[in-house]
Amino acid sequence: MFEVELKLKIEHSMVIPYLEGLGFYLVGEEVHHDIYLNAPHKDFGVTDEALRLRQSNGKSYLTYKDKKINPRTKTRREIETPIILDDMYDIFLSLGFKETLNIEKKRIKYKKKDISICLDSVKGLGEFVEIETMADSNLNIYENQLLEILKTMNISEDKLISKSYLELLLDNGQ
């Protein structure tokens, strides 16, 4: 599967008034504790990949993110599976992986069909909005669909950010 995502550094108050009118409903709030790892055999920062262990609301996941296919929309292949966090963390450290960074964020999630709008508050970075969906083909159709939502909210494509939270935090020297 591919994750098709638009990310913006924008105050949540700029988006919230549009959500109900666009047919999005509140799913709930999540707290994410993410541990990013780097491989001993290649540098994920150079290859534009990511390996993440996430704990969120009592559940844990391992996520691999491949290189971005379209940096404007942050489209990339993503594989995610449930895990036992401590065991998986120990396995990776035993294999020579190194912890890159921990990221904490609060996420308020809205949904409409297969599209999510996430209002993220990232520790050390501030407020962001992600508009995302998963797709297995016809990526351009999904990208255009998300860009249309952005237009409906009167937000310019110039505000799109192609970097991940990890990249933004590393750029800030964390």
As annotated, the active-site residues are: 36
C-alpha closest to that of 75 among 87, 66, 64: 66
Angstrom distances, CA of residue 82 to CA of 18, 55, 62, 101: 33, 10, 6, 21
Task: Say how far residue 141 (Cα) sits from the centre of its chain.
Answer: 20
Distance separating alpha carbons of residues 13 and 19, to the nearest angstrom: 11
C-alpha pair distances (Å), 8 with each of 46, 149, 161: 23, 13, 6
Give the C-alpha separation, 122 to 21, whole Å.
Answer: 26
